[in-house]
Amino acid sequence: MCGRIIIKKSIQIVEEELNLQPRQDLYNFRGYNIGPGGMAPVLGTEREFRMMRFGLTPFWSKKNMLLFNARSEGDYNKDNDPTYMGNKGIYNKPAFRGPIRNKRCIVFVNGFLEGPEKEKLSKPYYVFDQEKEFMGLAAIHDTWLNKETGEEIEGFAIITTVPNKVTARIGHHRSPVILRNRDYSTWLQATHLDQISPLLVPYGLDTLNAYPLDPSIRSPRVDDEELLKPIGQAVIKRNKVKFKTEFDTHGFGRKKKL
């Protein structure tokens, strides 16, 4: 599960590194504890960020929903085998089979919250990349029309897979699909499912880490950067932790459309 995301830096960093269309009206956006129902800037195929709700409602649904995660395995791997490498059931799920084909997007975050499978966010950890300020999470989106009010709601769901090394260390059985920089364009542009299937796997680089947070951040009403300060040691000990921005601009050249 990935039910809380953190954006504490300006998305202008991503725009400048990837030569994206500027959205200066979003540069001041911050979200230190964005949960289902919250808003976040999301990058789609138009090479421009736009605000979407964290929580997807299929266009055909009769009622408003908040599907904030989409399992890449779908109904397969019900036992959450961490070594599962089989079929991608997401391709056949009614709520996701359309968006996974033609409404893919990327949610750029500075980190996300996760907790052990049993304690959940009563024992929260902040997961981040030690070598990048922003991580690109694979996501899908859809637009739902409220027929009573006429309001259109565009929402997104983050794709999840089996645990990566850090979420496994925390004791959680899932992890968001974190895209490598070289795969951004493939995720957004691919026309065949066999092009994206290899991307729906746990993050393979050894740059992730996590540290424990004050449990008060579990409240969805809390939005305070102070609560992102560590209250204990990182789960993976390293001699030195430093942040740097490393973007690979494959397919994101200036003036070039995705």
Asked if the structure places residue 177 within a domain, the reply is yes
Q: Would you say 137 and 106 are in contact if contact means Cβ atoms under 8 Å apart?
A: yes
Tokens 């961490």 locate to 82
Mean pLDDT of the chain: 92
User: What pLDDT, in 10s, does the model give residues 205-225?
Assistant: 999 999 999 999 999 999 999
Closest of 67, 80, 70, 36 to residue 159, by C-alpha: 70
pLDDT at position 245: 43
Q: Is the model more confident about 21 or about 254?
A: 21
| Helix-then-strand count for the chain, H and E | 5, 13
- 238 lies in some domain: no
CATH of the domain at 80: 3.90.1680.10
Per-residue pLDDT tens for 100-115?
A: 999 999 999 999 999 9
Can you list the pairs that 237-244 forms with residues at least 24 positions away whose Cβ atoms lie under 8 Å?
Answer: 238/130, 238/209, 241/130, 241/209, 242/130, 242/131, 243/130, 243/131, 243/132, 243/133, 244/131, 244/132, 244/133
Buried b (16+ CB within 10 A) or exposed e, 13-42: bbbebbebeebeebeeeebbbbbbebebbb
pLDDT tens digits for range 55-78: 999 999 999 999 999 999 999 999
Q: Could you tell me the pLDDT band of residue 252, with boundaries at 50, 70 and 90?
A: low
The verdict on residue 237 lying in a domain is no
26-55: per-residue pLDDT in tens? Answer: 999 999 999 999 999 999 999 999 999 999
Q: Is residue 19 a part of any domain in this protein?
A: yes
Inside any domain, residue 213: yes
Is the pLDDT score of 189 beyond 50?
A: yes
Write the single-letter amino acid at 22: P
Strand-strand pairing, 49-54 and 111-114: unpaired
Asked if 5 and 34 touch (Cβ cutoff 8 Å), the reply is yes
Domain range for 200 is 4-228
The total number of structural domains in the chain stands at 1
